[in-house]
Amino acid sequence: MSKKNFPMANNVALQDFPEPPSVGRHPQRIYYLDVLRVLSIFGVIAMHAVDISRTDLSDMRTWWIGHALITFSYFGVPVLVMISGAILLSPEKRLDVIPFYKKRLPKIVIPLIAWSFIYYIRDVLDGVTFWLPTFFKRLLTGSWAGHLWFLYMMICIYFMTPFIRKMFVGDGKNEDMRLAKTFLILYFLYNAFLFFVEMAYQSHPSYYMREALFSFYMFYFVLGYYIRRSDIPKSIGLMLSPPLFFIGGILTFWSYYQYSIVLRSRWPAFFDFGTPFVMLMAFAIFLFFKSLTYRDSRFMRAVIYVSKMSYGIYLCHMLVLDVFSGQLLPIFDGTLLPPFSIRSFEPLLSGPLLIVVTFAISLLITMGLHRVRWLRWLVP
């Protein structure tokens, strides 16, 4: 992609990405980023909705289907980070440290505190003793809901962004891309080395080897920037991306099967965002949708709208799943209905249905919060 001045629009934490140059009612949107954002949030919901099937070996048909759904949804979190990097590392955008922090950090920190408290109240209703010092201790040392880890990670990435960006603002695009390419190759090879050490010894490599360099999320952050700025022909992107995506997915699927079913090992390394296979999937799907041609249409307008709601969908979807599991509200706990899960009926139908319904209800909740002025800050 050649250097152009892209106006910036969205000013929402997870949605704080550039608006693509296009035509029609949304001349500021980069359509493929909107599509990727929606697919990524859908993938995150898929992972959480059917995750119980990954460790439950009592029904192997359910395990196979759930395992496949999780495997091919694992690109979700990495691609969200890539979208952010594609924008925030762009040299076309002015980025001053203090204004950057003042604009973006509140949109992560405030929802993190608010939604942590909401999930804390959920736990209180489930029997946890209400005690505010306990709430703040866990807020600072852990998380009141598993998926909120993403916000902690994004706070750290936002802190580093102004300094990382300096690495990629040189004398011109060639210098920027050469440095980015070198970083990505070296980091991928180093991470692959750590991965195979872990596989060989069934033990994590030295803490200092793993943590001395940037988190692998920074790899995705830079990778999104690199793909957006690259001049890979669309024909090559469309031809190479599908096989690369499925190679990464099949290797993840098969490897986890070998360890969990054949070898009866619970070593979780293959379901990790830092594995080379997941990196390959994330690269492939980002490149594929960048290589497509888009035009203004009712469908794209709907995608853009859902994309704007994606942050809220991410924040609230675990509450919806808690209701379906029977943990929250006396509805699906057997009082009115049995728990709704991938095992409710035919898993090939119940798994996808659970994902779609959870996504739709989370979208409706987010839309409702957006319509109430004094609640809109919960889903900025």
Q: What value does the mean pLDDT of the chain take?
A: 85
Q: What pLDDT, on a 0 to 100 scale, did the predictor assign at position 90?
A: 80
Q: Which residue has the higher pLDDT, 15 or 282?
A: 282
Q: What pLDDT, on a 0 to 100 scale, did the predictor assign at position 213?
A: 63
Q: What is the mean pLDDT of the segment spanning 102-127?
A: 92
| Residue 310 within a domain | yes
Q: What pLDDT, on a 0 to 100 scale, did the predictor assign at position 370?
A: 93
> d(Cα 81, Cα 292) in Å, to the nearest integer?
20
Q: Give the domain extent around 132.
A: 31-318
Q: What pLDDT, on a 0 to 100 scale, did the predictor assign at position 173?
A: 61
> d(Cα 374, Cα 248) in Å, to the nearest integer?
44
Q: What pLDDT, on a 0 to 100 scale, did the predictor assign at position 202?
A: 72
Q: What pLDDT, on a 0 to 100 scale, did the predictor assign at position 109?
A: 93
Q: Which residues contact 86 (CB under 8 A, 6 or more apart)?
A: 17, 18, 33, 224, 225, 227, 228
Q: What pLDDT, on a 0 to 100 scale, did the predictor assign at position 166?
A: 79
Q: pLDDT category, 17, cuts 50, 70, 90?
A: very low
Q: What pLDDT, on a 0 to 100 scale, did the predictor assign at position 362?
A: 97
> d(Cα 148, Cα 315) in Å, to the nearest integer?
7
Which residue in the block uniquely carries the two structure tokens 């669309």? 234
Q: What is the mean pLDDT of the segment spanning 11-16?
A: 40
Q: What is the mean pLDDT of the segment spanning 238-267?
A: 85
Q: Which residues contact 147 (CB under 8 A, 6 or more apart)?
A: 44, 48, 314, 317, 318
Q: How many domains, in total, are found in the chain?
A: 1
Closest listed residue to residue 240, CA positions, set 286, 207, 206, 203:
286
| Residue 328 within a domain | no
Q: What is the mean pLDDT of the segment spanning 44-50?
A: 94
Q: Which residue has the higher pLDDT, 363 or 3?
A: 363
Q: pLDDT category, 330, cuts 50, 70, 90?
A: confident
Question: Does 119 have pLDDT greater than 60?
Answer: yes
Q: Which residue has the higher pLDDT, 138 or 3?
A: 138
Q: What pLDDT, on a 0 to 100 scale, did the predictor assign at position 25?
A: 54
| Residue 98 within a domain | yes
Q: Which residues contact 188 (CB under 8 A, 6 or more apart)?
A: 219, 276, 279
Q: In the chain, what percentage of residues exceed pLDDT 90?
A: 49
Q: What is the mean pLDDT of the segment spanning 158-167?
A: 85
Q: pLDDT category, 371, cuts 50, 70, 90?
A: very high
Q: What is the pTM of this model?
A: 0.86
| Residue 335 within a domain | no
Question: Does 193 have pLDDT greater than 50?
Answer: yes
Q: What pLDDT, on a 0 to 100 scale, did the predictor assign at position 3?
A: 34
Q: What pLDDT, on a 0 to 100 scale, did the predictor assign at position 267?
A: 60
Question: Does 42 have pLDDT greater than 70?
Answer: yes
Q: What pLDDT, on a 0 to 100 scale, did the predictor assign at position 113?
A: 95
| Residue 116 within a domain | yes
> d(Cα 302, Cα 300) in Å, to the nearest integer?
5
Q: What pLDDT, on a 0 to 100 scale, did the predictor assign at position 354?
A: 96
Range of lowest pLDDT (13-17, 62-66, 270-274): 13-17
Q: What pLDDT, on a 0 to 100 scale, did the predictor assign at position 260?
A: 74
Question: Does 8 have pLDDT greater than 70?
Answer: no
Q: Which residue has the higher pLDDT, 268 or 236?
A: 236
| Residue 377 within a domain | no
| Residue 235 within a domain | yes
> d(Cα 261, Cα 255) in Å, to the nearest integer?
10
| Residue 139 within a domain | yes
Q: What is the mean pLDDT of the segment spanning 108-131?
A: 92
Range of lowest pLDDT (29-43, 179-193, 366-380): 179-193
* Top-ranked range on mean pLDDT: pick from 6-10, 20-24, 250-254: 250-254
Q: What pLDDT, on a 0 to 100 scale, did the predictor assign at position 85?
A: 93
Q: What is the mean pLDDT of the segment spanning 60-80?
A: 92
